[in-house]
Amino acid sequence: MPILTMSTDIGQRDYIVGAIKGQFLQLQPALNLVDITHYLSQTNFPLAAYTCNNAFKHFPNGTYHLILINVFEADHDYFLIAQHNDQYIICPDNGLITMITGVKPKNLVKVPVSKNATLLKITADLAAAVYKLDDYQQITAAGNPTTEIVEKYPLRPTVGPNWIEGQIIFIDHFENVVINITENEFEEHRKGRPFKIIFQRNEIIEKLSGNYADVPEHEKVAWFNSAGYLEIALRNGNMAGLFGFQGYNEQMQQFASSAGNKWFYQTIRIFFE
């Protein structure tokens, strides 16, 4: 049974998500539809890439992943389908594919869609393309091969001899804060040295915990989450709200730079001693 996941910025307060599912099921009644999220930000691509990448890796080979984010930012008459790690990513040509994969996929096609059309007209075209791809088991059945796409890549931490600085890429429902520093990157630069995680108001964390429950109530805690990224929190508290953290996005970063404010509560710096 084929699987198609949906990750969008649409929300679920009206009929649109249900209508899109109906379009796919009309053509493939046996399709297994899975919601990842419908509350992605239109402008925060690092957050979208973090969410999609860490969900997609747990799906079986052959899964189709439909991503609808900022669909009407550019007036394209096509979508992209990329084959990566034996799965298929379907999204606008807005740089998100390479943000998710970290590389330019070798197998890419442009899928013609109706120009100047409503979202449901576009998704009807995509449903037809997925039907063809699944029927023929060839990505070229869905569109024309291409090598020219918009490329954007994941944010990387900045480093110095005795420090590493990462950006906040996600704030979860509990206001825990996820930073784009992986455990491998942390250990590579740490080299066994003691460390201090320093953020707003000169707050410091000097040890890593195994999980959220390793510290007393209302104490600051840091650990590497199930996706392998550094996460900081307050036990039974709201880390982001209390310390004024905001998730990274390009517009806020540009404002911070123009204001000469490098520490715009979007970065976390770790010093090694």
Residue 105 has which token pair?
Answer: 């996929």
In the chain, CATH 3.40.50.10790 sits at 3-145
Q: Which has the closest alpha carbon to 39: 17, 63, 22, 15?
A: 17
Q: What is the pLDDT of residues 173-204, one digit of tens each?
A: 889 999 999 999 999 999 999 999 988 767 89
In the chain, CATH 2.40.30.90 sits at 158-272
pTM of the model: 0.87
Identify the band that residue 217 occupies on the pLDDT scale cut at 50, 70 and 90: confident
Q: What is the pLDDT of residues 247-257, one digit of tens each?
A: 655 544 444 44
Q: How far is CA 108 from CA 80, 84, 142, 251, in A?
A: 7, 9, 10, 29
Q: What is the pLDDT of residues 131-182, one digit of tens each?
A: 999 999 999 999 999 999 999 998 889 999 999 999 999 899 889 999 999 9
CATH C-level class of 3-145? alpha beta
Looking at domain 158-272, its CATH architecture is: Beta Barrel (2.40)
